[in-house]
Structure 1
Amino acid sequence: MGVKCFSITVAVVAVFAYIVYQTLLSPLPVPKINTTTYWGPSSQANRIEKSEVKPFKINYSADVISKLHNRLSEPLNLVEPLENVNFRYGFDKHKLEELVKYWRDEYLPKWDERQNFLNALPQYTTKIQGLNIHFIHTKDQTEKAKHVIPLLLLHGWPGSVREFYEMIPKLTKAKDNIAFVVVAPSLPGYGFSEAAKVPGMNPTEMAVILRNLMISLGYDRFLVQGGDWGSIIGSSLATIFPQNVIGFHSNMCTSGWVSSFFKSFIASFYPSLFVPAEYADFHFPLGEKFSYIMEESGYFHLQATKPDTIGIALTANPVGLLAYILEKFSTWTDMNNRDLIDGGLDKHYTKEALLDNIMIYYLSNSITTSVRLYAEGFGSKHLNLKIDRVPVQVPVGCARFKNDLAHELDWQLITKFPKLIHSTYHANGGHFAAMELPDVLYNDFLQFVKKLNVTA
């Protein structure tokens, strides 16, 4: 009787395990995606689209800048912070007052200079699936390289193409006989790229648009690099279109696989078996890492559920826009910045770089459309694609920067990225690596490209 009961128990457990595996854990085939979905006004869905590439310049009148100056001159009437909380309750009042004054009295008077800087990289727009997509496209100095490779460079939120301005010249300049033709688009609904007029513009749909952009420019095979949403979009692009992607490199690799949580839990008991000792604190202790994510993810829930509400509040208030965005540049660059009176912003970035990014959001009025990506990315339409359970069948490189929001072990990543050929750890840097440490990210990416052997 005991043997019979044992056998039945084993059988039930086996069946349960099989069901769980098939339901939650087994790899899935690439889903069928419509590559021609129209995202413009539904009333114009049947119109023939012209995909002409047009030069683009950022060009705002003195009147627009003057009106912003006047808005920044209004009394702030901010509440005094609690004693010794620094950035732990959010953006510090005194640092905000300092930045608003700098924005108004020092940055805006030299707007022509900043506008010229932003226009120094060649930019264009073209229609893709009903949307006017803005992108940087440069091959400056690439003629000096023996091997020139197209590269799609993807930003995230609350960043913009401004993150890449220090890195792009390095990419286009020949090093070790390699250079890159760079295409750095503003994501749909970000900056100067038009937003979808109908619901459903999730990361996978963005991947389709950006792949179609590259094809329209004549690049049938290209590299992809991205962080934040750029990583998730890049992963989707590599998943769905492996025939177009030479390799995918990210400074925020995430698998999204259900098993990832269980793997990290198991690894926490024996970290030395899964990661070199000097990098264990990138991943552990789990309790500390989980608490940090919980403390810093309030924005996420808000943007994933009511993006237009927060968008309205920020659109109507440039000071609020600055505080909301730059708080992320503080904390996501290094969690310890929460204990600094200035949020560590001056330690990692120039004021000009930070305000350039704010100006792109403000002038393009794109904060609402940018945060909608959270609602679409975690909506049922996108989740039902189960794209995270489809392995990426192209070579992948992952660069971890110590102070980023979170990291995954190779053991966690290998399920989603079975061709993980490049995995690195960097002792410094945070979430916005391209802006904070452009040399380090560039060199990491170049090492990944060399492993691809595309120059052989």
Structure 2
Amino acid sequence: MSCCRQEVAREACYHSTVLSCSATGVYRMIAEVLVALVLGAVVYVLLLKQRQEVLQTEDGWWGLGEPHETPEDDSIRPFKVETSSEEIEDLHKRMDHTRPFPALEDSQFNYGFNSKYLQRVVSYWRHEFDWNKQVEKLNRYPHFKTKIEGIDVHYVHVRPRNLPEGTSGVPLLMVHGWPGSFYEFYGILPLLTEPENADDLAFEVICPSIPGYGFSEAPHKKGFDSVCAARVFHKLMKRLGFAQFYAHGGDWGWLITTNMAQLEPKTVKGLHVNFAPPAKPGFRMVMSVLLGRRFPKLFGFTDRDLNRLFPIVQKVMVESVKESGYMHIQATKPDTVGRGLNDSPVGLAAYILEKFSTWTDPEFRNMEDGGLERNFSLDDLLTNVMIYWTTGSIISSMRFYKENFGKGLNQKHAAIPVYVPTGFASFPNELMHTPELWVKQKYRKLTSYSPMARGGHFAAMEEPRLMAEDIQNFTRKLEKRKRK
């Protein structure tokens, strides 16, 4: 019995030892797995950071002739919009000699700007529009010019008033597109710089004119594209003393501010856009086009997304073709049609204002007056046209398409994601609808995606309050400030 008990004891000891060793081995294995996971996570983060590629660019020279040997004049000069009786007389003379042409019966705006309604616009422009009064309105805010890379860059700079001592406004760069101008933002400027709610952020807003647009000098050499504009505007903001700032853009302003975020992601604190057509279709985007109508929840599609996207051929492809004829002209031979527009104020008005009709709401194509005065006043619309006319900038503005599209669709910036916190305002009548999934493909830190109640392509001008509120909410989120 004694020998038996000893044998049992040895057996128990053996099993205890085995279990102990086994447990130790399991713990060691778990520890090794955890270490491997941690190391893997560290490596992944490091690789992710390496993959956050920054867009590269080099300084340019867009002035006449060769760059000066002496340093460029970096002074900031006050600027004032001016007019003269000779300028107005010449405009009136050209309008008086325009040759009307009858519109087709029942054509509305489906053939372009309706000729019958155009006569009403021209009559108002000729006999009622007061350019002197609008010049005073333009000069309501301070204008400046400064020379960057050989050309004069114009901008409006509006500082908030009545701020507590020792505080400053939140710097915000706002960039327009074509066929708009800095004037697009005149309705939103007081809402941003003098907010009605005392708890809202007060912004210090800088609205530059893209070189070749309005009062910014046109480049004298080929090659000035969106990346060049982004680089110039970064230099402008540095010259104004801003180490960091927020940026907003629509139309070309979307691409320019996106390029700014790609060039200097640490300088742009936040990017807000209301236009973001996908640059390159990724796998999930392609699958969403193929399967999104049948499995919308799989791609996060809302009823609004489905209504705007499908059927894809009609809603995206056909509609894009209907509204992109101008783009093909300007991306290939801008100087040809541009010369005619530069000579004829009526032709220029028809070419520009047609976009303010159909890009505001595609249904306006079926109206005799294009719905033009439903969302805008003729005074505001003609003021924008006059900025192009008096500066003779329609040809140079159209060349911007040639410079961008002429380099192909595989430019470096098209493949580089944006890692700057981004807010997207999705207006229901925008030219191209971009679901949240598609926006995230490019903008990896999408902080807010806001389906807006109404509005189209020229949203800042059409719906300034909605746009101001979305910019306010987006910026407040990043600044981590809440309303009281």
TM-based fold match above 0.5:
yes
Residue 170 of structure 1: aligned partner = 191
Matches within 5 A, 1:56-455: 56-78=79-101, 80-107=102-129, 110-141=130-161, 143=163, 148-174=169-195, 175=197, 176-259=199-282, 262-266=286-290, 267-273=292-298, 274-289=300-315, 290-380=317-407, 383=409, 385-453=411-479, 455=481
Matched, 1:33 2:33: no
Deviations 1:49-91 (A, max 9, x none): 111111111111111111111111114231x222211000111
Aligned 8 A contact 2:55 2:262 in 1: no
Residue 8 of structure 1: aligned partner = none
Aligned 8 A contact 1:160 1:191 in 2: yes
Q: Percent identity?
A: 39
- The 1:281–1:47 alpha-carbon spacing in structure 2 relative to 1, beyond 3 Å, is farther
Distance 2:336 2:208 in 1: 26
Deviations 1:229-274 (A, max 9, x none): 0001111111111111000000112331232761441323323442
Aligned 8 A contact 1:315 1:362 in 2: yes
Deviations 1:343-376 (A, max 9, x none): 0001110000000000000000000000111111
Aligned 8 A contact 2:153 2:208 in 1: yes
Q: What amino acid is the match of 1:333?
A: T
Distance 1:329 1:221 in 2: 33
Shift of 1:384: 5.2
Distance 1:147 1:88 in 2: 49
Q: What amino acid is the match of 1:438?
A: P
User: Comparing 176-185 with 145-154, which one deviates more in the overlay?
Assistant: 145-154
Residue 6 of structure 1: aligned partner = none
Aligned 8 A contact 1:142 1:148 in 2: no
Distance 1:261 1:330 in 2: 30
Matches within 5 A, 1:19-30: 29-30=53-54
Deviations 1:280-304 (A, max 9, x none): 3233331222211111111010000
- The 1:147–1:138 alpha-carbon spacing in structure 2 relative to 1, beyond 3 Å, is closer
Distance 2:55 2:204 in 1: 30
Aligned 8 A contact 2:100 2:119 in 1: no
Which ranges of structure 1 fall in alignment gaps of 5 or more residues?
1-26
The DSSP-based 3-state class of the residue aligned with 2:266 is coil
- The 1:28–1:179 alpha-carbon spacing in structure 2 relative to 1, beyond 3 Å, is closer
Q: What amino acid is the match of 2:192?
A: L
The DSSP-based 3-state class of the residue aligned with 1:153 is strand
Aligned 8 A contact 1:142 1:181 in 2: no
Distance 1:151 1:263 in 2: 37
Deviations 1:135-155 (A, max 9, x none): 000103261596621000000
The DSSP-based 3-state class of the residue aligned with 1:256 is coil
Q: What amino acid is the match of 2:147?
A: K
Q: What amino acid is the match of 1:120?
A: R
User: Comparing 200-209 with 41-50, which one deviates more in the overlay?
Assistant: 41-50
Distance 2:168 2:238 in 1: 20
Deviations 1:217-239 (A, max 9, x none): 00110000010000011111111
Aligned 8 A contact 2:157 2:205 in 1: yes
Distance 1:207 1:142 in 2: 32
Q: What amino acid is the match of 2:364?
A: N
Distance 1:412 1:30 in 2: 21
Counting matched residue pairs gives 426
Aligned 8 A contact 2:81 2:139 in 1: yes
Which has the higher Rg, Structure 1 or Structure 2? Answer: 2
Aligned 8 A contact 2:54 2:264 in 1: no
Distance 2:399 2:296 in 1: 37
Aligned 8 A contact 2:77 2:144 in 1: yes
Aligned 8 A contact 2:160 2:203 in 1: no
Q: What amino acid is the match of 1:439?
A: R
The DSSP-based 3-state class of the residue aligned with 1:305 is coil
User: Comparing 262-271 with 423-432, which one deviates more in the overlay?
Assistant: 262-271
Aligned 8 A contact 1:263 1:412 in 2: no
Distance 1:284 1:424 in 2: 21
Distance 2:85 2:288 in 1: 54
Distance 2:186 2:156 in 1: 10
Deviations 1:89-115 (A, max 9, x none): 1111111000001001001xx222111
Aligned 8 A contact 1:396 1:422 in 2: yes
TM-score in terms of structure 1 length:
0.89
Aligned 8 A contact 2:293 2:306 in 1: no
- The 1:41–1:454 alpha-carbon spacing in structure 2 relative to 1, beyond 3 Å, is farther
